Amino acid sequence: MKRSGDSEGEKRRKRRRLLQELGDQKIPFLAPSDRGFQQLWDTSYSGLVLRKSCSLPAELHSRVQAALLTLRRKGCLLKDLVRVRDRDVFTAVSRALLGEPGHTYRYLDTRLFAIPWHSEDIDVKGQNCCDPDLRAACKALWELNTFFCTDVSQLKEGDRLSQSAKGEAEHESGQGCSQPSPPQVCSGPVKFNVTLLNYMDPAAMSQLKEEPYYGMGKMAVGWHHDENLITHSPVAVYSYSCHDDKGESSEGSSSDKACWRIGLKVAWDIHTPGLMLPLESGDCYYMRDDLNSTHQHCVLAGDTARFSSTHRVAECSSGTLTYIQSRCREALSNLHTDPETGSHRLVALLPATLQDCEEIHNEVEFEWLRQYWFQGQRYARFCSWWTRPMEQLEKDWKLMETMTMLFLAAVEEEGQEEEGRREMAEILLSALTDRHQQRQTWRDRCHSSLAQTLPPEEAPVDRPFWGVDDPSMPLPFDLADIINRVESLLWR
């Protein structure tokens, strides 16, 4: 599967080398009460911006917070069964993706399908994919998204200093909001297209990992870069610490409760001190410029339950419903259906065309259908937006099974010119081998021991799946025999 940057093996080696160099020592980190905190921020973490709670409109806070509580009450926030270094693990935080209709966000070999923002009024489009409460909640997060788009786009160098930390730096350097602003660093208006929501109640967690390098405390989310973003695009985060879902308020006695913090570090660097930024409920922070790629961040758990809404510019060139639908159209344009008899034939047998079709077949099966069903009924339960499109993609995919069958028949046909046949057989073999392996991987993921622990409505579904003698399917699910047949053609 696709991965960017260093390979896992390289990362492991790098990590081991750094840990060796470090021995038992911890790397220092600075928090706001430490001397030099502001200077460290300005020199080594300048892409980080804190927006204190008071700089957002009060009613936006209350709508967003109500929305997050609604999503929790409805059970929309779920742990993801992701893959880390070829192993299945549940995320410690519960999550949901909201965003532009038809958008998806891929992280840790998992494609999340966005519940649409529902930004328009219900009557306008007659949307009835989910109930009014959920729709209102989605809309509130869309409003927050709009606020962030504007705010991050307008943020100028000058503001950056005045917004950061408690304002000490402001007094020292004499900079305030009225200062003329140097040119904007961020190019063009920012359009966040998804938000990944996170929720965790530390009281419900049996054990959280200790932050290993700096000794920053318990982590809710370990050190990472955010994946699958447009290069150098910003990330905006809203942080809401609340009471747990049993209604035990923490607000009164907040002084003796540990607060939530984020940790930042320069990637692969054990010499620059880390930065720890405490967040009060309603505070927001932005990671701008290349901060996400040059630095890693983690989330350090406080004592109370907490939500965050993390707004991103997801790299969606192959991640939207419109994209995959047009890919399917491209593949299916090579299939001719006789209007009288309903029988099928391939339009062209050009190797490049066949290869495209088989690649699209694998893409729709593994990046869309299996990703979707692996996450069980969780999408359809809250909002039916994806139900129809997924049915249609499955129909298209099934026609592609027919196309593969016709392709196989053409390759096996006697009296073919030898060179042409060989080239076709090689293309088919490589697509089928890939398909066979990926089907196995998804079967394993669906039947893993962790998957078994999920309640039926969240349990992974291995779909599409069909039995050996399903008359409606043109090819078997298990491709081992066919792969052998094509291989033996190549050996002749």
Residues that bind ligand AKG (CB under 6 A): 196, 198, 221, 226, 237, 239, 262, 297, 299, 308, 310
Q: Give the residue with the Cβ less far from ligand AKG, 190 or 262.
A: 262
The residue of the chain with the least Cβ separation from Fe ion equals 226
325 to 115, 196, 368, 409, 473: CA distances (angstroms): 18, 24, 11, 27, 22
The two three-digit tokens of residue 330, written as one number: 């491209």
Choose one: 76-84, 133-141, 220-228, 459-467; the region binding Fe ion (CB under 5 A).
220-228
The least distance separating ligand AKG from the CB of residue 237, rounded to whole angstroms, comes to: 5
Q: Give the residue with the Cβ less far from ligand AKG, 307 or 397.
A: 307
Q: How many residues does the chain have?
A: 492
- Look-up: residue for tokens 């490049």? 352
The least distance separating Fe ion from the CB of residue 226, rounded to whole angstroms, comes to: 4
Q: Using CB distances below 5 to 8 A depending on partner kind, what does residue 237 bind out of Fe ion, ligand AKG, none?
A: ligand AKG
Q: Using CB distances below 5 to 8 A depending on partner kind, what does residue 401 bind out of ligand AKG, Fe ion, none?
A: none
Q: Using CB distances below 5 to 8 A depending on partner kind, what does residue 424 bind out of ligand AKG, Fe ion, none?
A: none
Q: In one letter, which amino acid is 320?
A: T
Gap between the Cα atoms of 425 and 382, Å rounded: 45
The least distance separating ligand AKG from the CB of residue 451, rounded to whole angstroms, comes to: 23
Decide if residue 226 touches Fe ion (CB under 5 A).
yes
Decide if residue 151 touches Fe ion (CB under 5 A).
no
Q: Using CB distances below 5 to 8 A depending on partner kind, what does residue 239 bind out of Fe ion, ligand AKG, none?
A: ligand AKG
The least distance separating Fe ion from the CB of residue 297, rounded to whole angstroms, comes to: 6
The least distance separating ligand AKG from the CB of residue 5, rounded to whole angstroms, comes to: 16
Q: Using CB distances below 5 to 8 A depending on partner kind, what does residue 262 bind out of Fe ion, ligand AKG, none?
A: ligand AKG
Q: Give the residue with the Cβ less far from Fe ion, 240 or 368.
A: 240
Q: Using CB distances below 5 to 8 A depending on partner kind, what does residue 145 bind out of Fe ion, ligand AKG, none?
A: none
The least distance separating ligand AKG from the CB of residue 296, rounded to whole angstroms, comes to: 10
139 to 60, 67, 98, 427, 486: CA distances (angstroms): 11, 9, 10, 47, 53
The two three-digit tokens of residue 146, written as one number: 């709009």
The least distance separating ligand AKG from the CB of residue 196, rounded to whole angstroms, comes to: 5
Q: Using CB distances below 5 to 8 A depending on partner kind, what does residue 308 bind out of Fe ion, ligand AKG, none?
A: ligand AKG
The least distance separating Fe ion from the CB of residue 366, rounded to whole angstroms, comes to: 25
Q: Using CB distances below 5 to 8 A depending on partner kind, what does residue 299 bind out of ligand AKG, Fe ion, none?
A: ligand AKG
Choose one: 114-122, 186-194, 221-229, 427-435; the region binding Fe ion (CB under 5 A).
221-229
Q: Using CB distances below 5 to 8 A depending on partner kind, what does residue 334 bind out of Fe ion, ligand AKG, none?
A: none
The least distance separating Fe ion from the CB of residue 227, rounded to whole angstroms, comes to: 9
Q: Using CB distances below 5 to 8 A depending on partner kind, what does residue 198 bind out of ligand AKG, Fe ion, none?
A: ligand AKG
- Look-up: residue for tokens 């930024």? 277
Strands 335-337, 219-224: parallel, antiparallel or unpaired by DSSP? unpaired
Q: Give the residue with the Cβ less far from ligand AKG, 198 or 320.
A: 198
The two three-digit tokens of residue 469, written as one number: 């003698």
Q: Give the residue with the Cβ less far from ligand AKG, 107 or 397.
A: 107
The residue of the chain with the least Cβ separation from ligand AKG equals 308
Q: Give the residue with the Cβ less far from Fe ion, 110 or 404.
A: 110
In contact, 141 and 117? CB cutoff 8 Å: yes
Q: Give the residue with the Cβ less far from Fe ion, 81 or 237.
A: 237
Decide if residue 283 touches Fe ion (CB under 5 A).
no
Q: Give the residue with the Cβ less far from ligand AKG, 239 or 402.
A: 239
- Contact positions vs Fe ion (CB under 5 A): 226
